[in-house]
Amino acid sequence: MAEEEDPERRGRHNPMSNVPIIPVIMFLAPCAFFLFTSDLGLPRIRIEYSSRDAPASAPAKKPLRQLTDRPYTLGAAVSDYDAHRAAWLAAHPRFPASVAPGRPRVLVVTGSSPRRCSKPDGDQLLLRAFKNKADYCRVHGFDIFYSNVVLDAEMSGFWTKLPLLRALMVAHPETELFWWVDSDVIFTDMLFEPPWGKYARHNLVLPGWDDAVYDAKSWLGTNAGSFVIRNCQWSLDLLDAWAKMGPRGPVREHYGKIFGEALSNRGAYEADDQSAIVYLLVTERERWGDKVFLESSYVLHGYWKGIVDRYEELRSKWRPGLGDDRWPLVTHFVGCKPCGGQGASYDAAECRRGMERALNFADDQILNLYGFQHRSLNTTAVHRVRNDTGRPMDADDEEIGRLLHPTFRAARPS
């Protein structure tokens, strides 16, 4: 998750611009049925209970995986997953993988470190960033899952997302697409929704370009902070292949050297998940490439340095719903550490100012529903911008209507 990443290795100079609030919907009963009636394995979670009378002692650390050990796996091998999932969906018609024609069931997944932030305002920034994601999900009718646990200590730092995604896939057969977003990703176009039909034949959607990945072999040709992955056997196989390069220690260091030789613009430091996915696409394109869509028509990953000072200009020229450079879908604060700690690439004050502007820019699109707006993008203070009439239910503001939850939007007269 973002707070444990080394921003130098995430590609901070990547220029790619790349009903209440939706609950954390976890359909426990049907999902439990699916898990207990299948042989699918989950990542290893060790739970220790300490006795009040037992002497206090630090738990023994698990030895680092060596290159001579068996390759790392996310869990027990999964076979015939697509058939298992299809049977489950047929037996549970109340939980369809599509919520409407052309609208797959989407689960937005995000999270942060289990530790408290070292900076006083770090936890508040994380809370506001999660509120931003919850707002976006409410507008579009998506489910959302927030994690602040590490499911497997071997997969620390930015690798934490892989065992989490794997666990969610086998626990949520009703979900068709999982959309991973780092904690430092902020949705800044609350209206734009990815064109799901465009990806009907693809299982992984990454921001980027074919020539940057396949021709230049650049580890900056994509970004692993915001991507969409389908719930299917292909994706489980990809996660397994991806995760083999991530265990902390000698394995991660070994693959870091391999990436340094195989990819452009990258040193030989320890392996990161972004370089790993580019390496897989470059070296095993015949296996994975046909099912991967590199998206550049809208900003699935937007580098914050080129965005945050343009928000006033964007508002003066365009309206939300574009998702591209004119109104970026997301603003990604790579190189910042909103929770504090070592390794930030940018000054903390600059990052804080940028995140404040991005959060306020996005929040104004929601506050407009209620007739309010921030006094400026540099402050949390708000003021009223619309006086409700004596018949507020008769108001017919097109932009406000477009930001309603899909269920209510569908009920509005056209």
CATH number reported for the structural domain that contains residue 300 in this entry: 3.90.550.10
Distances in Å between the alpha carbon of 111 and those of 130, 141, 207, 278?
A: 8, 20, 20, 23
Task: Report which of residues 28 and 168 the model is more confident about.
Answer: 168
CA-to-CA distance for 181 and 174, rounded, in angstroms? 20
- Nearest alpha carbon to residue 305 among 244, 350, 249, 273: 350
* pLDDT tens-digit series, residues 260-292: 999 999 999 999 999 999 999 999 999 999 999
CA-to-CA distance for 407 and 409, rounded, in angstroms? 6
| pLDDT at residue 2, as a whole number | 46
CA-to-CA distance for 153 and 40, rounded, in angstroms? 21
49 within domain boundaries: no
- Nearest alpha carbon to residue 164 among 61, 45, 265, 256: 45
Distances in Å between the alpha carbon of 122 and those of 75, 118, 144, 215?
A: 33, 7, 21, 39
Task: Report which of residues 10 and 267 the model is more confident about.
Answer: 267
Residue type, 249: G
Determine which of 21-25, 128-132, 168-172 has the lowest per-residue pLDDT on average.
21-25
Token pair 């009907």 in the structure block, residue: 200
pLDDT > 90: percent of the chain: 64
87 within domain boundaries: yes
- Do residues 329 and 228 touch, judged by C-beta distance below 8 A? no
| pLDDT at residue 62, as a whole number | 76
| pLDDT at residue 208, as a whole number | 97
Confidence of residue 337 (pLDDT cuts 50, 70, 90): confident
Residue 13: pLDDT over 60:
no
Rounded to an integer, the average pLDDT of 325-348 is 87
Q: Specify the number of domains making up the chain.
A: 1
> Phi first, then psi: what are they for 244, rounded to 5°?
-60, -25
Which helix or strand (DSSP H or E) is residue 137 part of?
A: helix 122-140
How deeply is 94 buried, as exposed, middle or buried, from its count of CB atoms within 10 A (0-12, 13-18, 19+)?
exposed
| pLDDT at residue 175, as a whole number | 98
DSSP alpha helices (H): ranges in 225-322?
Answer: 233-243, 250-262, 273-283, 285-288, 311-317
Mean pLDDT of the chain: 84
Rounded to an integer, the average pLDDT of 6-31 is 45
95 within domain boundaries: yes
* pLDDT tens-digit series, residues 379-414: 889 998 877 665 555 555 565 566 666 665 555 444
Which helix or strand (DSSP H or E) is residue 407 part of?
A: helix 406-411
* pLDDT tens-digit series, residues 193-219: 999 999 999 999 999 999 999 999 999
Which helix or strand (DSSP H or E) is residue 283 part of?
A: helix 273-283
Residue type, 15: P
Task: Report which of residues 394 and 48 the model is more confident about.
Answer: 394
| pLDDT at residue 73, as a whole number | 92
| pLDDT at residue 63, as a whole number | 87
| pLDDT at residue 313, as a whole number | 97
128 within domain boundaries: yes
Determine which of 29-33, 122-126, 333-337 has the lowest per-residue pLDDT on average.
29-33
CA-to-CA distance for 341 and 372, rounded, in angstroms? 35
Task: Report which of residues 107 and 403 the model is more confident about.
Answer: 107
397 within domain boundaries: no
Residue type, 48: E
225 within domain boundaries: yes
Residue 147 CB neighbour total at 10 angstroms: 17
59 within domain boundaries: no
* pLDDT tens-digit series, residues 226-268: 999 999 999 999 999 999 999 999 999 999 999 999 999 999 9
Rounded to an integer, the average pLDDT of 124-146 is 95
Residue 330: pLDDT over 50:
yes
Range with top average pLDDT, 107-116, 186-195, 366-375: 186-195
| pLDDT at residue 25, as a whole number | 43
DSSP string across 70-136: PPP-SSS---SHHHHHHHHHHH-TTS-SEEETTEE-EEEEEE--SSPPSSTTHHHHHHHHHHHHHHH
Confidence of residue 120 (pLDDT cuts 50, 70, 90): confident
> Phi first, then psi: what are they for 332, rounded to 5°?
-110, 125
Range(s) of the domain holding residue 182: 2-38+64-386
**For the chain, give me the number of helices (H) and strands (E)?**
13, 12
52 within domain boundaries: no
Q: Nearest-5° angle of CA 255, CA 261, CA 266? A: 85
